[in-house]
Amino acid sequence: MFATDHTYAMETLLRDPQLPAELRQIVEQVLTDQRISPAQGLLLYEQASLAFVGTLANYIREKQHGHRTYFNRNFHIEPTNLCVYDCKFCSYSRLIKQRNDPSAWQYTMEEMLDIVKSYDDQPVTEVHIVGGVLPQYDLQFYLEFFRRIKSHRPALHIKALTPVEYHYIFKKAKVSYEEGMRLVAEAGCDSLPGGGAEIFHPEIRQQIAADKCTGEQWLRIHEIWHNLGRRSNATMLYGHIERFEHRIDHMEQLRQLQDKTGGFQTFIPLKFRNHDNQMSHIAESTPVEDLRNYAIARIYLDNFDHIKAYWPMIGREVAQMALAFGVDDIDGTIDDTTKIYSMAGAEEQSPALSTRELANLIKAVGRRPIERDTLYNIIQDYTDHVFPEDEVFKGYLALPVV
Ligand code: V47
Ligand code: SF4
């Protein structure tokens, strides 16, 4: 018998005489911590079954994190859904010319500070700020906003804006990326979320997000941020017009930058949702493809510590399944404060989960719920915690948690 279930599953794969030599080679590389090549990544997308990639990804996940599954307590502020850009997949933005549309909003700084204050009595650790791009939300506006959040609640981690906004506001303010990112850090921004990455390859980016920052600019801004000693996330919008080779190219560029800086914390694959946008004619990926994609990301990105499934986007059930396919993080107890996905047709129309619900969702698939802060410092292990409301469900929750 082998030491752990996940190694046993890998050994079982190797005992299969039918296993093609190229896949056997990948199993052996993963078992000996050897990175797989872009060609091998492509082979996984083109030929490997869900069960195969799932076994490898779960092996890596359990070796790194055991059953630990991370979440945090956060809330979102989306300053506006008006945007100067016109990404074809975006269901959320309203072009500036539609500013009188009843579904358009534009918060003032005071209104956004009121949102921050409305969480004063709650134990949230992070505010995630991202939205549309508008000229009036310029560099000075955001610097002041960050300073005011910090002066109101110094311990609240600000995870704010993507290279899409930074490229635009730095250009307008006529400052270099280096100078701009230094000012942003000084004003109180703590980390960058992973948005705006979409698909880096110009062949696809030109068709879906032609007018915003390029893949190269996205990567450069994260690199500068990492060189300031700061951390960030990375996303990939998949399941639209890209081909597998574009996904591999995207992950390869992230892997190379991570080798240089080590500044990425988490990779978040974002499933394209087709409701009410200019790409509505494109069918969405199936849950099997979504799980295969998480698993291949876990195998490919050997220098990323975490793979996150963003539950408001894929729904609670697929998020639970993803925990067996390489995912070790399911984001936060967001509080119905994001519109990005509900407007794109995601399962969760009013995404809100209490800490109790999130912890129980994780326990119900035999994993350990761990509340973390943005930088993955552990705040509380909920494995043995029984919430008062759960007394009646004890039997159901008593699943094998190691
Ligand atoms: O960049 C927009 C995506 C992203 C659609 O860093 C869509 O912790 C699918 O990056 N279908 C923004 N996706 C959100 C984001 C994020 C989310 C959660 C956690 C973190 C993190 C980052 O949303 C955009 C774009 O790729 N998006 N429209 C759509 N129709
Ligand atoms: Fe604007 Fe972002 Fe939507 Fe693109 S994805 S149109 S940059 S809000």
Q: Over the chain, what is the mean pLDDT? A: 91
Please identify which residue in the block is written with the tokens 């912890």. 359
Q: How far is the centre of ligand 2, averaged over its atoms, from the C-alpha of 133 (Å)?
A: 7
Q: What is the CB < 6 Å shell around ligand 2?
A: 83, 85-87, 90, 92-93, 132-133, 164, 212
Q: How far is the centre of ligand 1, averaged over its atoms, from the C-alpha of 259 (Å)?
A: 24
Q: List the residue whose alpha carbon is closest to atom 5 of ligand 2.
A: 90
Q: Alpha helix locations (H) across 209-300?
A: 215-227, 244-261, 287-300
Q: List the residue whose alpha carbon is closest to atom 4 of ligand 2.
A: 87
Q: How far is the centre of ligand 1, averaged over its atoms, from the C-alpha of 151 (Å)?
A: 28
The atom number, within ligand 1, closest to the CA of 345 reads 30
Q: How far is the centre of ligand 2, averaged over its atoms, from the C-alpha of 343 (Å)?
A: 13
Query: How many residues are present in the chain?
Result: 402
| pLDDT tens readout for residues 15-66 | 999 999 999 999 999 999 999 999 999 999 999 999 999 999 999 999 999 9
pTM: 0.93
Q: How far is the centre of ligand 2, averaged over its atoms, from the C-alpha of 93 (Å)?
A: 6
Q: If pLDDT is split at 50, 70 and 90, which confidence band does 341 have?
A: low
Q: List the residue whose alpha carbon is closest to atom 7 of ligand 2.
A: 85
Nearest ligand by distance to the CA of 340? 1
Q: Are strands 231-238 and 191-192 parallel, antiparallel or unpaired?
A: parallel
The atom number, within ligand 1, closest to the CA of 273 reads 11
Average pLDDT over residues 276-294: 96
Q: How far is the centre of ligand 1, averaged over its atoms, from the C-alpha of 242 (Å)?
A: 16
CB 195 within 8 A of CB 341: no
Average pLDDT over residues 116-143: 95
Q: What is the dihedral of CA 358, 57, 36, 270, to 10 degrees?
A: -40
pLDDT given for residue 353 in this prediction: 77
Q: What is the CB < 6 Å shell around ligand 1?
A: 89-92, 130, 193-196, 198, 233, 235, 237, 268, 270, 272-273, 277, 310, 331, 340, 344
Q: Is the pLDDT of residue 397 over 60?
A: no
The atom number, within ligand 2, closest to the CA of 89 reads 5
Q: Is the pLDDT of residue 109 over 50?
A: yes
What CATH number should be reported for the domain whose range is 69-381? 3.20.20.70
Q: How far is the centre of ligand 2, averaged over its atoms, from the C-alpha of 109 (Å)?
A: 20
pLDDT given for residue 402 in this prediction: 42
Q: What is the tally of helices (H) and strands (E) in the chain?
A: 16, 13
Q: Which of 82, 95, 133 to mutate to test the pocket of ligand 2 (most atoms within 8 A of CB)?
A: 133
In angstroms, the CA 189 to CA 374 distance is: 12
- The DSSP call for residue 378 is E
| Helix or strand holding residue 69 (H, E) | strand 68-72
Q: How many CB atoms lie within 10 A of CB 100?
A: 7
Q: Is the pLDDT of residue 189 over 60?
A: yes
Task: List strands edge to edge, sheet with 126-129.
Answer: 74-77, 126-129, 157-160, 191-192, 231-238, 264-271, 306-307
Which SS3 state, helix, strand or coil, does residue 190 take? coil
pLDDT given for residue 148 in this prediction: 98
Q: What's the start-to-end Cα distance of the chain, in Å?
A: 18
Q: How far is the centre of ligand 1, averaged over its atoms, from the C-alpha of 400 (Å)?
A: 34
Cα 272 versus chain centre, distance: 13
In angstroms, the CA 282 to CA 274 distance is: 7
In angstroms, the CA 201 to CA 207 distance is: 10
Please identify which residue in the block is written with the tokens 């794969």. 13
Q: Where are the domains of the chain?
A: 6-65, 69-381
Q: If pLDDT is split at 50, 70 and 90, which confidence band does 401 have?
A: very low
CB 341 within 8 A of CB 273: yes
